Amino acid sequence: MSTSSKPTYTVLLVDDNQDLLRALSFALEELGGFHVVCANDGIEGLEIFYDIHPDCVVIDVKMPGLTGYQLMRAFRGDSISMETPLIMLTALAQDKDQFAGMAVGADIYFTKPVKPQVLAEAIHKVIAEGSQERMRRYQELVDNLTPDFSN
Amino acid sequence: MDQSALSGSFKPPLDLPLTPVAGLAWLKGNRFWLLFLVIIGLLGLLIAVQSQTSGALHFLLSDASPALALLSAFIGSFWVSLRLPKGKNRLAWRWISLAFLSYFIAETIEASIVVITGFNPIPPSLADLFILLFYPCLITGLLFLPSPSLSRGARGRLIVDAGMIACAALGVSLLTIVMPLLDSTESISGIEKVIVSAYPLGDVALAATLLLLLIRATEGVLRPILLWMFIGACSLLCADAAFNIIALKNISIDSSPIVDPFTVAGEFLMGLSAWFYLIHGNEPDFAWLWLARSRKTTVRTLQRPWYQRYLLPYLPLALVVFLGLTRDLLPPSQYQLVTIFQILALFTVVMTITRQILLNAELVDAKIANEQAQQLDALKDQFITSINHELRTPLMTMQTYIELLRYQQQTLPEKTGRLVTEIGRTNDALVDLVQSILEVRRIDQKNDEFPREVVHLQHAWEQALALINPREGSIAERILRVNLQPDLAIWGESVRVQQILTNLLSNAVKYSPPRSVIEVSARTVQTEGGRRSKAGKQQMVEIQVRDYGLGIPPEQIPLLFHRFVRLPRDLASNVVGSGLGLYLCQVLTEAMGGHIWVESAGVPGQGSTFALRLPSAEAVTNQQPIGETMEAHIGW
DSSP string, B124-149: SSHHHHHHHHHHHHHHHHHHHS----
Yes or no, beta carbons of B404 and A26 under 8 Å apart: yes
Task: With beta carbons under 8 A apart, name residues in chain B contacting A91.
Answer: 389-390, 392-393
Q: Nearest chain A Cα to B436, which residue?
A: A93
| pLDDT confidence bin for A54, thresholds 50/70/90 | very high
User: Least CA distance to B627: which residue of chain A?
Assistant: A151
| Inter-chain residue contact B395 with A112, CB threshold 8 Å | yes
Does B552 have pLDDT greater than 50? yes
Q: Kindly determine whether residue A93 and residue B396, on different chains, have CB atoms separated by under 8 Å.
A: no
The answer to whether the Cβ–Cβ distance between B403 and A115 falls below 8 Å is yes
Q: Are A45 and A11 in contact (CB under 8 A)?
A: no
User: Is A116's Cβ below 8 Å from some Cβ in B?
Assistant: yes
- pLDDT score for B122: 56
Residues on B contacting A at a C-beta cutoff of 8 Å: 388-390, 392-397, 399-401, 403-404, 407, 431, 435, 438, 442, 627
B438 neighbourhood in chain A, CB within 8 Å? 93
- Smallest CA–CA separation between A25 and chain B, in Å? 10
Of A27, A91, A111, the CB nearest to B400: A27
Contact B28, B361 (CB under 8 A): yes
Kindly determine whether residue A117 and residue B400, on different chains, have CB atoms separated by under 8 Å: no
Partner B, chain A 42-101, Cβ-Cβ below 8 Å = 62, 91-94
B625 pLDDT band (50/70/90 cuts)? very low
pLDDT the model gives residue B283: 43
Q: What is the pLDDT of residues B581-598, one digit of tens each?
A: 888 888 888 888 888 988
| A30 interfaces chain B, CB cutoff of 8 Å | yes
CATH of domain A10-145: 3.40.50.2300
Residues of A in contact with B435 (CB under 8 A): 93
Nearest neighbour of A113 by CB, restricted to B395, B442, B627:
B395
Chain segment B216-245, per-residue pLDDT in tens: 655 444 555 566 667 667 767 766 766 666
Average pLDDT, chain B: 66
Beta-carbon separation of B403 and A117 below 8 A: yes
- CB contact, 8 Å: A118 with chain B? no
Q: In this structure, are residues A57 and A89 in contact, taking their beta carbons and an 8 Å threshold?
A: no
Mean pLDDT of B69-93: 71
> Which has more confidence, A133 or B482?
B482
B495 contacts in A (CB within 8 Å)? none
Strongest mean pLDDT among A59-63, B207-211, B316-320, B476-480: A59-63
Q: What angle do CA B103, B104, B107 make, to 5 degrees?
A: 85
Backbone torsion region of residue A116, taken as left when φ is above 0, otherwise alpha when ψ lies between -120 and 50, otherwise beta: alpha
The percentage of chain B sitting over the pLDDT mark of 70, rounded to a whole number, equals 43
For B397, the closest of A19, A92, A117 (CB atoms) is A19
CA distances from B519 to A90, B81, B610 (A): 38, 65, 11
pLDDT band at B550 (very low <50, low <70, confident <90, very high): confident
Of B250-264, B304-318, B387-401, the range with the highest mean pLDDT is B387-401
**SS3 label, residue B195:** helix
Residue B400: pLDDT band with limits 50, 70, 90: very high
Taking only the tens place, the pLDDT of each residue in B22-51 is: 344 334 333 444 455 555 555 555 555 555
Q: Do B404 and A30 touch (CB under 8 A)?
A: yes
Within 10 angstroms of residue B100's Cβ, the number of other Cβ atoms is: 27
Say if CB B385 and CB B441 are below 8 A apart. Answer: yes
Nearest CA in chain B to A25: B400
Place A11 in a pLDDT band, splitting at 50, 70 and 90. Answer: very high
What Å distances lie between residue B457 and B369, B454, B489, B501, B614, CA to CA? 47, 9, 6, 10, 11
Instruction: Look at residue B188 in the predicted model and tell me its pLDDT.
Output: 55
Q: Which residues contact A121 (CB under 8 A, 6 or more apart)?
A: A32
**Residue B627 and residue A151: Cβ atoms within 8 Å?**
yes
pTM value is 0.46
Average pLDDT over residues B397-407: 90
Smallest CA-to-CA distance from A76 within A105, A41, A39 is with A105
Average pLDDT over residues B392-405: 90
Q: According to the model, what pLDDT value does residue B185 have?
A: 55
Q: Which of A104-108, B424-428, B493-497, B567-571 has the lowest mean pLDDT?
A: B567-571
* Cβ contacts of A117 on chain B, cutoff 8 Å: 403
Contact A107, A87 (CB under 8 A): yes
ipTM of this complex prediction, to 2 decimal places: 0.84
DSSP three-state, residue B6: coil
pLDDT at B117: 66
Cβ-defined contact of A91 to B435 (cutoff 8 Å): no
Q: With contacts defined as CB-CB under 8 Å, which chain A residues touch B429?
A: none
> Residues B7-14: what's their mean pLDDT?
38
Query: How large a percentage of chain B has pLDDT more than 90?
Result: 2
pLDDT at A21 (0 to 100): 93
CA distance B223 to B424: 65
